[in-house]
Amino acid sequence: MTPRVRCLLAIALIPLINGCSSASYYAQLADGQRQLLQAREPVAKVIADPQQPSALREHLARAQAARTFASEHLHLPDNRSYRLYVDLKRPYVVWNVFATPEFSLNPVTHCFPIAGCVAYRGYYSQGAARGEAALQRQQGKDVLVSGVEAYSTLGWFDDPILNSMLTWGDERLATLIFHELAHQRFYVKDDSEFNESFASFVEQEGTRQWRARQGLPPSSANSLQQRDQFTALVLDTRQRLQKLYAQPLPAQEMRQRKAAQFDRMRRDYRQLRDQQWAGNNRFDAWINAPMNNAKLLPFGLYDQWVPAFAALFKHSGGDWQVFYGQVEQLGKLPMAQRKAALQQWATPPPV
């Protein structure tokens, strides 16, 4: 899956969740988090153990350099998070289940005491996630099950590096650490777009500075442009679907027009790939897989307000402490005022 879908599970106050919630669901959350906490061991111990694979030890050593950089240069929390390691013996830590009505892009939301309301449910078992997805489909919902390589407990626990985080290379692991520590640095309840865009900006700017620190050139502009173009393509499809769903059409006709919009997205993608990307097929697997509303949900969630935070960072003189102070002031505003302020920051001034 192209967009980085991360889970923010507020597990610390599970015993306080109201009795109307599913006891079995929260029990699996508590048990999954308990097992993860019990399996943690210091990264330094793993690195020093000659019985561990040398590739793992070297990978973790480089991750610790990025972790130190995060606190010393990006002024992200200096705690034991990502200085611990867990081998889960599985490819993902949790699986998220997203769902929407058949003719709507509004997600089915679920609320937690600390994280607030989010657009998914997380499961530590892939089988349990698929079971929940099947139930949602029986209710006529569009559903997506997405594996998650990392999540943040927002500082309630010392989050470890997971084996699921090691598959994408040193820089990818560094970006994950920057992103998840940003959630610990600041988080606004019930505003996923704000939280994820903030963390994504910290991740992107932090990675840029991390590469510069190592004497590496900036990330490929061509790759970033392709990612942005692909995201824009999906967001355009979402906008057309929203207009479609607002029309008073019979269900069968609505289904046909919905399918036509997904076909159009695929055609537009192939044209973009073949005419502008020289045939680069990095998104082929995603675009050619079965399509529905839920699959579009993560797009825009992680980067909607990134331009606003970039402008705010520039306005702060590139000073992380000043920037965080400005972000905290935005976070204190009521939702409507906060979005209006972000929109103003994201809008370039007239020339």
Sheet (strand 41-42) strand order? 41-42, 84-86, 161-162
Query: Rounded to whole angstroms, how far apart are CA atoms 15 and 154?
Result: 17
In a domain, 255, yes or no: no
Cβ neighbours for 159, distance < 8 A, ≥ 6 positions apart: 81, 82, 84, 150, 151, 152, 153, 180
User: Of 76-80, 165-169, 291-295, which range is least confident?
Assistant: 165-169
Q: How confident is the model at residue 6 (pLDDT cuts 50, 70, 90)?
A: very low
State the average pLDDT for the chain: 90
Contact criterion met (CB below 8 Å) for 152 and 96? no
Q: Is residue 174 part of a domain?
A: yes
The per-residue pLDDT for 287 is 97
Find the mean pLDDT for residues 267-293.
Answer: 96
pLDDT exceeds cutoff 70 at 2: no
> Is the confidence at residue 118, as pLDDT, over 50?
yes
How far apart (Å, rounded) are the C-alpha atoms in residues 209 and 218?
A: 9
Share of the chain above pLDDT 90, in %: 76
pLDDT of residue 350: 65
φ, ψ at 111 (rounded to 5°): -115, 140
Predicted TM-score (pTM) of the model is 0.82
In a domain? residue 82: yes
Average pLDDT over residues 151-168: 89
Residue 284 falls inside a structural domain: no
Q: What is the mean pLDDT of residues 291-314?
A: 90
Tally of domains in the chain: 1
Residue 247 is assigned to a structural domain of this protein: no
Note whether residue 29 is domain-resident: yes
Q: Is the pLDDT of residue 271 over 50?
A: yes
* pLDDT tens, position by position, 85-110: 999 999 999 999 999 999 999 999 88
> pLDDT class for 115, splitting at 50, 70, 90?
low
**Residue 150 or residue 57, greater confidence:** 57
The answer to the question of residue 342 being in a domain is no
Residue 216 has what pLDDT?
Answer: 86
Within a domain: residue 199? yes
Q: Both ends of the chain: CA-CA distance in Å?
A: 38
Q: Among the listed ranges 7-21, 37-51, 276-290, which one has the minimum average pLDDT value?
A: 7-21
Question: Which 8-state DSSP code applies to residue 285?
Answer: H
Widest pairwise Cα distance in the chain: 67
Domain span at residue 168? 14-213
111: confidence class by pLDDT, cuts 50, 70, 90: confident
For 195, 290, 336, the CA distances from 331, given in Å and listed in that order, are: 9, 37, 11
Residue 351's pLDDT band (cuts 50, 70, 90): low
Three-state DSSP class for residue 284: helix
Minimum mean pLDDT range among 30-34, 80-84, 239-243, 326-330? 30-34
- What pLDDT sits at residue 189? 87
Helical spans, DSSP H, in 104-189: 126-138, 169-185
Distance CA 13, CA 9 (A): 10
Query: 286 pLDDT exceeds 50?
Result: yes
Q: With contact defined as beta carbons under 8 Å apart, do 297 and 98 qualify? A: yes
**pLDDT at residue number 3:** 37
